[in-house]
Amino acid sequence: MRDISHKLAFAHDGEAARYSDVFNPNDGQVQARVALGDRALLDRAVEAAKAAQPAWAAVNPQRRARVMFNFKALVEKNMDELAHLLSSEHGKVIADSRGDIQRGLEVIEFCCGIPHALKGEYTQGAGPGIDVYSMRQPIGIGAGITPFNFPAMIPLWMSGVAIATGNAFILKPSERDPSVPVRLGELFLEAGLPEGIFQVIQGDKEMVDAILDHPDIGAISFVGSSDIAHYVYKRGVDNGKRVQAMGGAKNHGIVMPDADLDQVVNDLSGAAFGSAGERCMALPVVVPVGEKTALALREKLIPAIQALRVGVSTDPEAHYGPVINAAHKAKIEDYIQMGVDEGAELVVDGRGFTLQGHEQGFFVGPTLFDQVKPTMRTYQEEIFGPVLQMVRAESFEDALALPSQHQYGNGVAIFTRNGHAAREFAARVNVGMVGINVPIPVPVAYHTFGGWKRSAFGDTNQHGMEGVKFWTKVKTITQRWPDGGASGDSAFVIPTMG
């Protein structure tokens, strides 16, 4: 059994006081253990970051971009290794793991253009002989706290922009699948990033609290459940830090009567069940508008769901693999039973699914509920598993109200051929990211990612120019170069440009 420690931060001294098991979700067996760090470990990481960051910030943006180019090439070169490592700890199929890494690399590609993104503003002649200009400078030391469901993409979303803008970055990944972030850190070093600029420290809540309280960490990015996101945001802000904390989701797919139902079913199969539903941008709620639409959609959905292939991560024919661990499997199955108890119609039951030869694996079969009501707890809460719920709406206005009034506001999609309906929906829906005939509306890397309501805490989104703003602070300079003549009377009033 291998040990996963903090080797990117510095040599791990001796035996750790606490360890956590890392499972192989395909067979339910412990394959590794991760050393859980403490405040003393974080202090050493911060000292390493403080020693390295000023020199890195002084490197010109073009040279920092070259490190990003090198890193991108190394990740692409090692894609197969990274994808298999990711699948072995998370459980998602290899193709999905490659997608996880590729979506992270797209932000690295954006970071390759960081010289342009860091350009400030300039006004010549703002006043008599006075020019005004601004510059963006790094925060100093940033930290990222990332979830288990995207062990490559989300660390890259955070670290890429933070590092490219001149910061040092300390990553605390999920202890459930910690190996890929460590490997990414090794590739950063190989790409030419100085030691101390990207460090991976392992840990649990004790480490999270240490990060939130550390006086030398200026900015924190978090992705996880909403309750923890709110906790991270409040504690971090109370300690004077800049914080972006992305929470949970309950994304809806609105199906209008004119939608192409074959395309909708194909899109729903991937968006609801891909990665076993363990995505904050999954589509776990479908809202057909009108009884005729609901009946026709249901008729097409049932055979499509029953045809989904659940398999081990390395099965190239599998649509999705196991969930992360036994506790999460039990939680999903408890929600399925809760839906039955609440009175929803269980159309396809994924409980009790086993795979021959992998009976101890953490598998959950695809599940479909119909006649789900907005008052049901299973609708109000995030299940985070391969469970699709159908909530019927009588009209466009009823369908619009469902995601708009939900506690979460991460993503939403509408399926229609009607441009007016799509435009109206996009303008009025109370959700941060909208897809029009796009089931998983994750913006491209040069735009920005972020939800509304309990899906996000903080004022700045991830990646794109919003990410650049989050990881930098603006300095504005007002300058005058005297021409050598008399300056006149001393000014005792506030200066103006009149």
Q: Would you tell me how many other CB atoms lie within 10 Å of the CB of residue 438?
A: 15
Q: Cα Rg for the chain, rounded, in angstroms? A: 25
Cβ contacts of residue 282 below 8 Å, gap of 6+?
A: 249, 251, 271, 272, 274, 275, 384, 440
d(CA 242, CA 471): 9
Measured over the CA atoms of residue 323, residue 324, residue 325 and residue 329, the dihedral's sign is negative
Residue 48 CA neighbour count, 13 Å, CB half = 22
DSSP secondary-structure letter at 491? P
Q: Which of 8, 143, 280, 310 is catalytic?
A: 280
State yes or no: is 112 an active-site residue. no
Measured over the CA atoms of residue 452, residue 456, residue 457 and residue 458, the dihedral's sign is negative
Query: Is the separation of the CB atoms in 168 and 197 below 8 Å?
Result: yes
Cβ contacts of residue 333 below 8 Å, gap of 6+?
A: 351, 364
Give 370's strand partners.
Answer: 345
Query: Is the separation of the CB atoms in 297 and 336 below 8 Å?
Result: no
DSSP secondary-structure letter at 393? B
Tokens for 278, please give them: 């363990």
Please give the positions annotated as active site: 280
